[in-house]
Structure 1
Amino acid sequence: MDPFRNTGQPDWDWWGKLWPTPGATLRRLGIDRGTTLAEVGSGDGYFALPAARIVEPAPVYAVDLEADLLAALDDVASAQGIENVHTIRGDARDLDELLPEPVETVLLANAFHGVDDRERLLEAVANSLRPGGSFVVINWADRPREETTLGGEPRGPPTELRAGPDETRNVVLEHGGFAADRALELPPYHYGLVFERER
């Protein structure tokens, strides 16, 4: 199991400067109460934990390769009394085999640019979704890295790895199983795309 390229886990302070209200971002992307959700590459839970609060009592399945990050997520969830997050260690490219049930939404944040076997991932995502379910991609804009700064330092993946919304949309739709839904700008440096699984 190899991680996606350039998908190291920044700390929460770092993310907090980009997304001071991750729950509001998730709501803009269609996450709502009762939505069953799986986050691919959840890390230590910056999106998975607020998602769990939003969708409660529905489950959030937090999937990652890194056991230590999932342990940290479990610790925070326990400390905050969040009981509907379920951590799963495994390769996102096997998502449909890892999840105990099909879900209504699969979330992939800050990682699509690093996916090497996109066809395999997209097939696993489609197979993990209920008919009509949503695949939500949050990713860095295709701007030069030196322009996406935080605290005066360049942040995010190398420029050559970045995929803008048009490229990402084309890749997802090309592999079949999805229809385009909507696109959102997520300032300062990200975009969101929502795809619907074809019935």
Structure 2
Amino acid sequence: MDHFHGHAAEEDPRQAWNSPEATLKSIGLKPGMVFADVGCGSGFFTIPAAQLVGSKGLVYAVDANPAAIEALMAKAYEKGLKNIRATVALAEDTVFCIRCVDVVFYSTVLHDFHDPIRVLLNAKKMLLPNGKLVDIDWKKKDMLFGPPKHVRFSEEQSITLIKEAGFTVESLTQLNDYQYMIIAKPASA
């Protein structure tokens, strides 16, 4: 799912235009929270999330790529982070816990899942009633990096899927020149 093929985190080109720390702070991630990074890759957002939630918080991370999880856990070990629970699995098959997560987070992966509705329904199961779903994805335009335009979801496509899964969209933000961010909450029953 990593569309930067082979770049180490230290040379990750996203660092030039995307600050994971600033993004996570902007969504309200705070010490003591529980964060789930679905399709986490090698930890571009996972590591900063673990640092932000601190020792009283917890970060769940899942990716289908064993090498990505191995790289993530090596970074966590190097930084002394003990609050990450990482799993190699398909997002469609992953529910870490029921009503125990403050933020379920997808970064440039919703379009990659075989069954995005199922993945979103799993998020709904994990989220606390006042929890947030955060979806960052590529704008549907031609770029020199990222996935091909034809596989990307437009803002409208992502919003439609999120609503179909039982969420209320709270905001749509143009995060940078390349990405948008949607924040949603579980719809009231």
TM-score (norm 1): 0.84
Identical pairs, percent? 28
| Deviation for aligned residue 1:22 | 1.1
Count matched residues. 181
In structure 1, C-alpha distance between the alignment counterparts of 2:87 and 2:173, rounded to whole Å: 29
- Secondary structure of 1:188 counterpart: coil
| Deviation for aligned residue 1:100 | 4.3
Partner of 1:33: 31
In the alignment, structure 1 segments of 5+ residues that lack a partner are: 1-6, 149-153
Correspondence 1:122-137 to 2 at 5 A:
122-137=120-135
Q: Once structures 1 and 2 are overlaid, which stretch shifts more, 110-119 or 8-17? A: 8-17
Correspondence 1:143-162 to 2 at 5 A:
143=141, 145=142, 148=143, 154-162=144-152
Correspondence 1:27-106 to 2 at 5 A:
27-56=25-54, 57-96=56-95, 99-100=96-97, 102-106=100-104
Summarize the Cα distance change of 1:71–1:9 in structure 2 as closer, same or farther, 3 Å threshold. Answer: farther
TM-score (norm 2): 0.89
| Deviation for aligned residue 1:132 | 1.9
| Deviation for aligned residue 1:40 | 0.5
In structure 2, C-alpha distance between the alignment counterparts of 1:164 and 1:30, rounded to whole Å: 25
In structure 2, C-alpha distance between the alignment counterparts of 1:59 and 1:71, rounded to whole Å: 18
In structure 2, C-alpha distance between the alignment counterparts of 1:115 and 1:28, rounded to whole Å: 26
| Deviation for aligned residue 1:116 | 2.7
Judge conservation of contact 1:29–1:192 (CA < 8 Å) in 2.
no
Q: What is the RMSD of the two structures over their aligned residues, measured on CA atoms? A: 1.6
| Deviation for aligned residue 1:91 | 1.1
- Secondary structure of 1:105 counterpart: strand
In structure 1, C-alpha distance between the alignment counterparts of 2:173 and 2:33, rounded to whole Å: 20
The letter of the residue matching 1:169 is I
| Deviation for aligned residue 1:117 | 1.1
In structure 2, C-alpha distance between the alignment counterparts of 1:73 and 1:9, rounded to whole Å: 16
Judge conservation of contact 2:3–2:146 (CA < 8 Å) in 1.
no
The letter of the residue matching 2:27 is L
- From 158, 169, 174, the equivalent of 1:168 is 158
1:113 aligns with 2:111: yes
In the alignment, structure 2 segments of 5+ residues that lack a partner are: none
1:26-85 CA-partner distances (Å, limit 9, x unpaired):
111232222201101111111000011111121001111112211111111111111211
Partner of 1:4: none
